[in-house]
Structure 1
Amino acid sequence: MLALVVARVDRAAMRQVSGAVFVNDGDTITLAGERIRLRGIDAPEYAQACQLHGGDYACGLRAREALVALIAGKAVTCEGGERDRYGRLLAVCRAGDVDLNRALVEAGWAVAYGGYEDAERTARERGRGIWAGTFERPRDWRDRHGGLAEPRPECQGGFYDWLQELLRFW
């Protein structure tokens, strides 16, 4: 019983994670086996399309590519303490000296979601990223399309998913 209590307290404590990174989409990474949601931002979902010059383009894929470019082989560290309803650690992440959360919003590949409103305002005024055209807010897109749609690392699936679900309920 004590082990379960300690596990619950540990999940709520501030965590710092670093290691090998997989970019799931524009605001979610898997770092050292831990799924992490970049706190305070909301990027287009991986399968989401936006409009530019009268046509659709894969803005969700472009947001993911922007995050990949920001990381560009640098060491990534994340710090956070809370989890979202999908069990992902909510964190501020850095690649070297770059605050990835802020940089994505400044580049226009994510909207502010409880933080970084100044960066969103600048991106909107300068027509950067998704602000160059029209788009549906990622939250609204998820509501219409039934939730998350992100690619997953090759190592996930089967036993790994079962274990993650089990740990979410502890």
Structure 2
Amino acid sequence: MLRFCFALVLTSLASVALADLSGPLRVIDGDTVAIGETRIRLHGIDAPENGQFCGNRTAPMWPCGSWISGEVRARFDGRSARCVAMDIDKYGRTVARCAVAGEDLGAALVRGGLAFAYTRYSSDYLPQQAEAARRGVGLHGAGVESPADFRKAARRGHDAQHLASAPEGCEIKGNISNRGDAHIYHMPGQAWYGATRINLVKGERWFCSEAEAQDAGWRRAHH
């Protein structure tokens, strides 16, 4: 009897968690929102993590994760949404499709280049991703590492504590300020060279020449 009651409670809780949700959105990051006390992971999309940086040799490093969160917040925070729950993920979040003014939110974000189709779980938004890539909007063409690859690197131990060794012949240290608004490189022999540490997850990197650092949009340290 006790086992039956416990199963009944679990079933009831699951039904509540997977019920349709509606109300004003609170944006948490590029692919996570909340309605009331329910945190919702948007189905089928993946956006850069808040601490993720993007860039490459032709595009200066920039805080794409926080930018994406800000863009999604500016466009959708406080707007009324209706979400249809599909699952509960391992973090206890409700996985759902959400619509704002009748438009699928996941589709809108992928089409606008603010998120990627999360093909590990769904291929629903591949057409919108192809359209965004063709137009070169948002994250496309900005040297963006896959959010999944970024998280995988962090799990392997490339976190804030992990320091990379300089590749052979590439000893110039590219450092990013704590606020993410200054990209400075330090040459061997400069005052702060020895104390500067490189955190690859943050977007910091080694350069092989001053020209390479400057082409990437970094400036030389004053001392």
Taking structure 1 as the reference length, what is the TM-score of the superposition?
A: 0.77
Residue 54 (str. 1) matches residue 59 (str. 2): yes
CA–CA distance in structure 2, aligned partners of residues 4 and 118 of structure 1: 44
Aligned to 1:78: 83
> How far did 1:91 drift?
0.4
CA spacing shift, 1:11–1:144, aligned 2, 3 Å: farther
Residue 118 (str. 1) matches residue 145 (str. 2): no
CA–CA distance in structure 2, aligned partners of residues 42 and 57 of structure 1: 19
CA–CA distance in structure 1, aligned partners of residues 104 and 6 of structure 2: 34
Tell me if structure 1 keeps the 8 A contact 2:97–2:106: yes
Runs (4+) of structure 1 exceeding 6 A deviation are none
Aligned to 1:19: 23
Aligned to 1:137: 146
CA–CA distance in structure 2, aligned partners of residues 62 and 87 of structure 1: 26
**Given residue 99 of structure 2, which amino acid in structure 1 is its aligned partner?**
R
CA–CA distance in structure 1, aligned partners of residues 102 and 75 of structure 2: 11
CA–CA distance in structure 2, aligned partners of residues 77 and 143 of structure 1: 32
State percent identity of aligned pairs.
Answer: 33
Runs (5+) with no aligned partner, structure 2: 157-223
CA spacing shift, 1:80–1:55, aligned 2, 3 Å: same
Tell me if structure 2 keeps the 8 A contact 1:16–1:79: yes
> How far did 1:29 drift?
1.0
Pick from 1, 8, 11: which aligns with 2:10?
8
Tell me if structure 2 keeps the 8 A contact 1:12–1:82: no
Taking structure 2 as the reference length, what is the TM-score of the superposition?
A: 0.60
CA–CA distance in structure 2, aligned partners of residues 36 and 9 of structure 1: 20
Task: Give the CA RMSD over aligned residues.
Answer: 2.1
Aligned to 1:104: 109
Greater share of helix: 1
CA–CA distance in structure 1, aligned partners of residues 8 and 85 of structure 2: 18
Runs (5+) with no aligned partner, structure 1: 148-170
CA spacing shift, 1:5–1:108, aligned 2, 3 Å: same
Aligned to 2:41: 37
